[in-house]
Amino acid sequence: MKLGLGLGQHVLTDENLRYARQLGVTHIIVHSPRLGERGVLEFNALLRMRKFIEFHGMEMAGIENLPRDHWDSVLNGAESRDEQIRNVCTT
């Protein structure tokens, strides 16, 4: 059986991940991580996050949502939406 927990990037701490593991959590879903300033989630930052979670004996099962400013123009149909779509595809 898999037991997942959703956590925001700001609460991915040693203490919280140890506690999650003690509760039997096996998978982590990270909410809206900010891992780059260009509107793209940077590979090396994603890899570090995944390895940090794995260090605590769990699997990073996914990412739920992106930071709002990475896709707000897409949602609002603004002129810069095409650039944001390209960035989301790159991520």
Its pTM stands at: 0.86
What is the phi/psi pair of residue 52, to 5°?
A: -65, -45
HEC letters along the chain: CCCEEEEEHHHCCHHHHHHHHHCCCCEEEEECCCCCCCCCCCHHHHHHHHHHHHHCCCEEEEEECCCHHHCHHHHHCCCCHHHHHHHHHHC
- What is the pLDDT tens value at each position of the chain, 91 positions in all? 899 999 999 999 999 999 999 999 999 999 999 888 778 899 999 999 999 999 999 999 999 988 888 889 998 999 999 999 998 888 8
